[in-house]
């Protein structure tokens, strides 16, 4: 996205949006996309087994450690793991992927804790995904705004979609724009990719026609100009499954209007079922 408003000719605008939405759905439903997650476990210093995941996993003085039995297989990169493997302590929001046959084992840091997730291409949630409903693309919801940086990034603590998880982001500033003559402002977090910002927000459709909150990516230009295209407001993984740890929006990021644009509430959802070992499985 650039700071230049998209072509608002209805046919072109709708076609560009449809191409974007199709690409997002392809990422979501890829063999190891987020809809493939079937198990999640928060690690402690007590080794646990996780259904479908090789080994026994723990998190202690050496960080994340897995101990594999003689008949269990796991590969990190292109290197097979035998016996014990030390992943160590991961950095902020870092993820490391290992493979076990057709599945991927994700080891990640979230909210100051380590978690293991299994990504299985045979996930029922992935295979049965009917597509994400969305409002029709409408140029009305694409406006030019401005990124206003803080004097210094402000540490901002927000809750997580998974109970007990908190996330801390160094917010670089706010995104300011107008809709229907109303001045609006949203606190922004660093996004995925250089120069990108992530804006988490809720509005008067949240919990009704849309999920509790959504995300929008913006890219300021050298002068701080941004395009705020709410047609591209997207669901985070927590809208689709309980096995997600997504950050919640800051309290001030609630828009006082109904944003009838972007993605709507998914029609299917993976529900978490606890296990005796402390993991949760999607059903």
Written as six digits, the tokens of 146 are: 């401005």
User: Is 281 within a domain?
Assistant: no
User: Is 5 within a domain?
Assistant: no
User: Is 207 within a domain?
Assistant: yes
Quick one: 144 and 24 in the same domain?
A: yes
Written as six digits, the tokens of 268 are: 């299917």
User: Is 247 within a domain?
Assistant: no
Round to whole Å and give the CA distance between 83 and 172: 44
Quick one: 136 and 20 in the same domain?
A: yes
Question: Helix or strand or coil: residue 268?
Answer: coil
Position 277 pLDDT exceeds 80: no
Quick one: 191 and 138 in the same domain?
A: yes
Single residue among 128, 148, 172 that ends a domain in this structure: 128
How do residues 201-259 score in pLDDT, each as one tens digit? 999 999 999 999 999 999 999 999 999 999 999 999 999 999 999 999 999 999 999 99
Query: In the prediction, which pLDDT does 218 show?
Result: 96
Q: pTM above 0.85?
A: yes
Round to whole Å and give the CA distance between 232 and 135: 10
How do residues 115-144 score in pLDDT, each as one tens digit? 999 999 999 999 999 999 999 999 999 999
What is the percent of the chain where pLDDT is above 70? Answer: 96
Quick one: 233 and 139 in the same domain?
A: yes
User: Is 265 within a domain?
Assistant: no
Residue length of the chain = 283
Split into its structural domains, the chain has a count of: 2
Beta-bridge mates of residue 60:
63
Range of the domain at 233: 10-29+131-239
**Quick one: average pLDDT of 8-23?**
89
Round to whole Å and give the CA distance between 104 and 256: 41
Spatial contact of 229 and 259, defined as CB atoms under 8 Å apart = no
Quick one: 124 and 163 in the same domain?
A: no
Quick one: 40 and 72 in the same domain?
A: yes
Round to whole Å and give the CA distance between 18 and 157: 34
User: Is 262 within a domain?
Assistant: no
Written as six digits, the tokens of 42 are: 């928060």
Quick one: 182 and 112 in the same domain?
A: no
User: Is 71 within a domain?
Assistant: yes
Position 159 pLDDT exceeds 60: yes
């Amino acid at each position: 996205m650039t700071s230049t408003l998209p072509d608002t000719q209805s046919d072109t605008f709708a076609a560009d949006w449809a191409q974007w939405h199709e690409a997002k759905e392809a990422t979501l439903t890829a063999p190891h996309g987020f809809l493939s997650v079937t198990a999640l476990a928060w690690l402690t210093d007590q080794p646990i087994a996780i259904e479908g995941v090789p080994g026994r996993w723990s998190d202690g003085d050496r960080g994340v450690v897995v101990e594999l039995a003689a008949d269990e297989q796991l590969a990190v990169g292109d290197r097979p793991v035998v016996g014990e493997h030390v992943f160590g302590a991961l950095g902020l929001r870092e993820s490391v992927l290992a493979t076990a046959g057709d599945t991927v084992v994700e080891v990640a840091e979230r909210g100051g804790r380590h978690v293991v997730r299994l990504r299985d291409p045979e996930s029922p949630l992935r295979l049965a995904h009917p597509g994400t409903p969305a409002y029709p693309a409408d140029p009305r919801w694409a406006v030019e705004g401005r990124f206003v940086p803080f004097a210094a990034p402000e540490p901002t603590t927000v809750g997580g979609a998974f109970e007990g998880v908190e996330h801390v982001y160094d917010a670089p500033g706010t995104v300011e724009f107008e809709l229907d003559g109303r001045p609006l402002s949203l606190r922004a977090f660093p996004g995925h990719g250089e120069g990108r910002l992530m804006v988490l927000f809720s509005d008067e459709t949240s919990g009704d026609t849309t999920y509790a909150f959504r995300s929008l990516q913006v890219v300021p230009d050298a002068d701080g100009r941004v395009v705020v295209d709410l047609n591209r407001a997207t669901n985070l993984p927590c809208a689709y499954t309980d096995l997600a740890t997504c950050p919640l929006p800051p309290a001030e990021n609630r828009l006082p209007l109904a944003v009838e644009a972007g993605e709507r509430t998914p029609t299917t959802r993976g529900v978490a079922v606890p296990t005796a070992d402390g993991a949760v499985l999607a059903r």
